[in-house]
Structure 1
Amino acid sequence: MGVARNIEKYLTNNQIQYSLLEHAYAEGSFNTAQVAKIDNRSLAKGVLLRDEDFHYTLCVLPSSHKILRHTLNQIFDRHMHLVEEDELVQFFKDCEAGAIPVVGKAYGIDVIWDDELMENDIIYMEAGDHRHLICIKQPEFTKLMQNTLHDHFSASRNRHYQPPLHVRNTYDSL
């Protein structure tokens, strides 16, 4: 499949330069980082939450991190809840189940991204399937996330994979 139709259209319309990284099939951001041989801190994952009024927000954070829901509740002054898997399908119809994109604006969803992502020169993100990642440089990520909220709302998961020395940390083809 490659890049999902809505994501590709959004990237093109907003003149975001990117490349694709193909990898072995993997589900879950931790596994995806391992098979793609990238640092899981540079893989942005999307987690969809909703409040008590069913207002949806896509949280974008490094795959090495977990959401601090209490912090998000304070940021929004709302009670945020994780959206169930079966509910995700209605939002990301052009993506494979579980391949949650971080480009929420392409789907009409509000976005908040974690400032931890600013620590990376290169950001990888789901392309809409379980075999491809979009790879963009930091300035393009900032452009992609313009006019969205950002804050610190995550914490590192200590149990996550620490990359060996041979992992990709730059992407020269951009």
Structure 2
Amino acid sequence: MHVAETLARSLRRADCHYDLVEHPHSATSLESARKAGIPAAQMAKPVILDDRRGHYLMAVVPANRLLDLGKVHKGPWRWQLTSEQSLGGLFRDCERGAVPALGEAYGMSMLVDPALTRQADIYLEAGDHESLVQLPVEEFFKLAPNAQLCSLCQ
């Protein structure tokens, strides 16, 4: 099991209570939820956006939902999906495609869909394709105290 160093450091600093959940290799958040045997509504899926001028934003939605880009409003920027090539530079301690849904730990602002707040526990990628971090929703927000709640899903 591998937890990205940035995520591990954030968990320690916030003194969070969490568990690690192993699962067979997966390629997407939705597949991770299925293989780990957890409800997809509890799996936090990060979608990284940029404004083409060096500003990044993480939108976090349940894995069984799609981001509605038209609902993303933050500042004067026009957001677009970030290219796969850019993600490697932003999340250097993570395997490609296994980004933890904690943008604040990586220096970016976060928007979180309220559907995730209705869950007792939230799961997020740990930084590899075989591990998830499970934590109570209150602990998640200890790690992302500046995250803004707003409806983001279609």
| Same fold per superposition (TM over 0.5) | yes
Q: Which residue of 1 aligns with 2:132?
A: 133
Count of residues in Structure 1 that have an aligned counterpart in Structure 2 = 154
Read off the aligned partner of 2:111 and give its amino acid letter.
I
* Offset of residue 114 of structure 1: 1.1
Q: Secondary structure at the match of 1:41?
A: helix
Find the counterpart in structure 1 of residue 113 from structure 2. 114
Give the number of the structure whose residues are more often helix, by fraction: 2
1:130-174 deviation digits (Å, cap 9, x = unpaired):
00000001221222221222211113xxxxxxxxxxxxxxxxxxx
SS in 1 for 2:16: coil
Determine the C-alpha separation between the residues in 2 that align with 1:26 and 1:52: 30
Q: TM-score, normalised by structure 1?
A: 0.84
2:7 corresponding residue in structure 1: 7
- Superposed displacement of residue 110, structure 1: 1.3
Looking at CA atoms only, which structure, 1 or 2, has the larger radius of gyration? Answer: 1
Q: Decide whether the 8 Å contact of 2:105 with 2:143 is kept in 1.
A: no
The 8 Å contact of residues 124 and 134 in structure 2, kept in 1 or not, is answered as: yes
TM-score of the superposed pair, with normalisation by structure 2: 0.94
Q: CA RMSD in A?
A: 1.3
Shift of 1:77: 4.6
CA distance, structure 2, for counterparts of residue 134 and residue 44 of structure 1: 10
Moved more, 143-152 or 108-117: 143-152
Instruction: State the shift of 1:80 in Å.
Output: 0.9
Is 2:85 the partner of 1:86? Answer: yes
- The aligned residue for residue 98 of structure 2 is 99
CA-CA distance at 1:53 after TM superposition: 3.0
